[in-house]
A and B are shown apart, each in its own frame.
Chain A
């Protein structure tokens, strides 16, 4: 894994007129930093995670105290624990290969699919977690491409969820074909407006979007508190909204207990849409131009203020969809804690995914699988779920500071790299 082929740096592109798919995809950053850095970051973080798993176990510490009496035992306990923990993580994330094989056998023999659904359930659960990550990660990535740091994905996600859940329970008697799109549209609009406000403030007054999106987050959180305790609360007074009509559900893809729903496919469609929009349309080119060099964008005739508002609106709309996805696809109602920080994690995902839709999807899947497997890791191997949080944090640090990985694995530095996608504080 640490061996990198000599030609992995796309500095020396072949003289062919057509570069290959990967080179086209990463023309701006080089294959090395776009692919190898994230992969090696994950690898390294898992190794360090393993050390922490071992060091936080009393059994392991005890065995090491007796190292000089029983060195082999100390090592085998240590590696055994790490192996068990990561095996549990893997099984928790993807399902157990053995039970999947068994379930297939039962199914092909009897046609009974219950065991099969049960066996694939962990995999499905991981994808359920990945879905809001994809939406919110795309939101932040789109902002990054436009040179804007949307820290407000969490707030946009909340208002998106509020709007969708309201349309979901307040309107009754519509066919799903109308009700569901309407509920989705409400989430898009609410998130879009929540993003457009700091966008407009930036375009009009130069107020920094980082500050204003953070402030918009607080407004969204408190607005949610208020609505859930009053106007949108269930008749019995609990701070939960009524259940949405089934016509507004994002339909499940498989029978219970698999919870994976259409939202996941929708997320993939939106990833493709964002890619198409950013790289294949004139407005997408304008967004990237403003992000990469606002001076040149102005010279080229781009109306920067409009593009800033548009970028923030679209970013907000995507984040809103993450909230919509949760209420229409998973919870079917809204509670205060319906997001476990998806909006904040999405900043890391956009970074990990190189602000590229494909990268965001892969990063979201990774985080989904890590979080999906973490619970089983705790129950089976006794390893606290927080370890996975630490691993996630380290991945981000390694991706954000690629020099660590480069020096660790003796990778050559690339000569030209796109500078940080977002300007510093106060830069235009």
Chain B
């Protein structure tokens, strides 16, 4: 019997880039195929070819052994191919039913929308696959994990047999990931076939039946979870050995750099997001803040960096009260901030690499003399930073938007780490980056620590927290539930704390 889906020799060129180079891929009935690769390896391009968003330059697509032409998503849907996008394609102010119906509306009496019939089918699908989605709620009221399930329902509603999941776990909490994996398994039990795109090694090893690794637009190899290890997969992805654990000496903390006392902060909806938080951070140590996203970490960091007003409490940096000072004043004291959303807060995408490298120091000597920007010095310094931090860019004058995600983050790291800083606040510093960049940025953070900088690391990735931190604080619903030395912090214990279960903490 021929495989359910077969891609043969798919080649896709963009100006100056060979995104897919003669890629062969097969997907069998009832199988989960993981497509693993760094950012830019060509995973998404390949799936967009399959989904009819791009026309391949060469190659053919076969479904159940017969050749098919897919020129637009409509063709793909008709052939039973469905895509769960990384960025959800939902209308927030529509209900689940309306979102699912959109494009395939069922009507009665010639023109009236038949919401009841659609809702009925959604309930059927929901119970059949254990999705637990209520058809009548507004999508904007749903948590991210449930919104993703709505996306899955949309695909199933269109009777897809081949489901493509594009980086589905990027936006999910660990609990939601578990939930998603259960759903994926039940989809396969019911006869669906899946392509799972990811760059996270452990997820791929957990969920996949087979793993195909892409690098630079080519298939490097196909393996199974039984035969592969994280290390082996990582080196396949990047083409060299990767150190997955960060090598570091024990910390030698001394002198309090950051002290937070009874801090309360409200979020955008004026609800208490940070609730009576107190902690100390010393020079030469990394304090990791673990927690499921949305438990006050963002607001905590914003209050520390002057981007959000603190309701009460006190923040002291290097002995100076910095509560509710402006971002610039806090920056001047010697603190650096690697923001959570680099494209929103950390960079001006339309500005050149050189301008972004002085984004918060452009008005200080030597970059400015009075009002006048010193472009020569800015450009000379930028060139040094680009060399020193190995930022891959054609030159320092291109807009930073032309750089890959990893290199964009390196621009921020280069800017912040090159200043004489005593305190580094890094929020999800490696979010969405490929293995090579993660390794690089982790190394730089530890280097800063060893230079005597105090580091506050906020990340929802437990692996990152556990490999970098000397002490780990767990945030839950705005409170710090416990602060553990890294030796006492096991994955299980942290997991329980992240779920708000206090018994795990030392008495």
**Chain A, residue nearest B347 (CB):** A296
With A293-B344, A295-B344 known to touch, is A282 a contact of B362 (CB < 8 Å)?
yes
Q: Is B363 an interface residue (CB 8 A)?
A: yes
Find out whether the CB atom of B349 lies under 8 angstroms from the CB atom of A280.
no
**Chain A, residue nearest B351 (CB):** A292
Q: Is B25 an interface residue (CB 8 A)?
A: no
Find out whether the CB atom of B347 lies under 8 angstroms from the CB atom of A416.
no
Interface size of B by CB at 8 A reads 38
Interface residues of A in 283-334 (CB under 8 A from B): 283-285, 288-289, 292-293, 295-301, 303
Partner of B344, one of A12, A282, A296: A296
Query: Hey, what's the 0/1 contact readout for A347-386 against B, CB within 8 Å counting as 1?
Result: 0000000000000000000000000000000000000000
Find out whether the CB atom of A301 lies under 8 angstroms from the CB atom of B326.
yes
Q: How far is the CA of A295 from the CA of B301 in the complex (A)?
A: 15
Find out whether the CB atom of B398 lies under 8 angstroms from the CB atom of A17.
no
Q: Which of A23-31, A75-83, A190-198 contacts B (4 or more CB under 8 A)?
A: A23-31
Q: Is A281 an interface residue (CB 8 A)?
A: yes
- CB neighbours (8 Å) of A419 from chain B are 350
- CB neighbours (8 Å) of B395 from chain A are 13, 15-17, 19
- CB neighbours (8 Å) of A28 from chain B are 350-351, 399
Find out whether the CB atom of B359 lies under 8 angstroms from the CB atom of A11.
no
Find out whether the CB atom of A27 lies under 8 angstroms from the CB atom of B352.
yes
Q: Is A418 an interface residue (CB 8 A)?
A: yes
- CB neighbours (8 Å) of B16 from chain A are 11-12
Find out whether the CB atom of B397 lies under 8 angstroms from the CB atom of A24.
yes
With A281-B371, A282-B368 known to touch, is A295 a contact of B394 (CB < 8 Å)?
no
Partner of A295, one of B345, B351, B360, B401: B345
- CB neighbours (8 Å) of B419 from chain A are none
**Chain B, residue nearest A414 (CB):** B15
Q: How far is the CA of A412 from the CA of B373 in the complex (A)?
A: 35
Q: How far is the CA of A13 from the CA of B15 in the complex (A)?
A: 13
Residue from A13, A15, A300 with most neighbouring chain B CB atoms (10 Å):
A300
In this complex, the interface size class of chain A, counting residues with CB under 8 Å from chain B, is 35 or more
Find out whether the CB atom of A412 lies under 8 angstroms from the CB atom of B351.
no
Q: How far in angstroms is the closest Cβ of chain B from A29? A: 9
Q: How far is the CA of A24 from the CA of B15 in the complex (A)?
A: 22
Q: How far in angstroms is the closest Cβ of chain A from B368? A: 5
**Chain B, residue nearest A28 (CB):** B350
Find out whether the CB atom of A280 lies under 8 angstroms from the CB atom of B372.
yes
Q: How far is the CA of A301 from the CA of B364 in the complex (A)?
A: 12
- CB neighbours (8 Å) of B344 from chain A are 293, 295-296
Q: How far is the CA of A218 from the CA of B402 in the complex (A)?
A: 44
Partner of B346, one of A296, A301, A412: A296
Find out whether the CB atom of A301 lies under 8 angstroms from the CB atom of B350.
no
- CB neighbours (8 Å) of B326 from chain A are 301, 303
- CB neighbours (8 Å) of B362 from chain A are 282, 285
With A292-B351, A299-B327, A301-B328 known to touch, is A416 a contact of B397 (CB < 8 Å)?
no
Partner of A19, one of B349, B397, B401: B397
With A28-B350, A292-B351 known to touch, is A301 a contact of B399 (CB < 8 Å)?
no
- CB neighbours (8 Å) of A285 from chain B are 355, 362-363, 373
Q: Is B339 an interface residue (CB 8 A)?
A: yes
With A19-B395, A27-B397, A416-B399 known to touch, is A299 a contact of B375 (CB < 8 Å)?
no
**Chain B, residue nearest A24 (CB):** B397
Q: How far in angstroms is the closest Cβ of chain B from A283? A: 6
Interface residues of A in 388-419 (CB under 8 A from B): 412, 415-416, 418-419
Query: Hey, what's the 0/1 contact readout for B327-365 against A, CB within 8 Å counting as 1?
Result: 110010000010100001111111110010001101100
Q: How far is the CA of A208 from the CA of B345 in the complex (A)?
A: 23
Find out whether the CB atom of B373 lies under 8 angstroms from the CB atom of A282.
yes
Q: How far in angstroms is the closest Cβ of chain A from B18? A: 15
- CB neighbours (8 Å) of B256 from chain A are none
- CB neighbours (8 Å) of B375 from chain A are 280
- CB neighbours (8 Å) of B351 from chain A are 28, 288-289, 292
Find out whether the CB atom of B345 lies under 8 angstroms from the CB atom of A296.
yes
Query: Hey, what's the 0/1 contact readout for B289-327 against A, CB within 8 Å counting as 1?
Result: 000000000000000010100000000000000000011
Q: How far is the CA of A415 from the CA of B349 in the complex (A)?
A: 14
A-B contacts, 5 of them at CB < 8 A, read A19-B397, A279-B373, A296-B347, A297-B348, A299-B359
Q: Which residues of A contact B (CB under 8 A)?
A: 11-13, 15-17, 19, 23-24, 27-28, 279-285, 288-289, 292-293, 295-301, 303, 412, 415-416, 418-419
Query: Which 6 A-B pairs rank lowest in CB-CB distance, beginning with the nearest?
Result: A301-B328, A300-B360, A282-B363, A299-B345, A293-B348, A281-B371
- A sample of 10 more A-B contacts (CB under 8 A), given A13-B397, A283-B371, A288-B351, is A11-B402, A19-B395, A281-B372, A285-B362, A292-B351, A293-B349, A298-B327, A300-B360, A412-B15, A419-B350
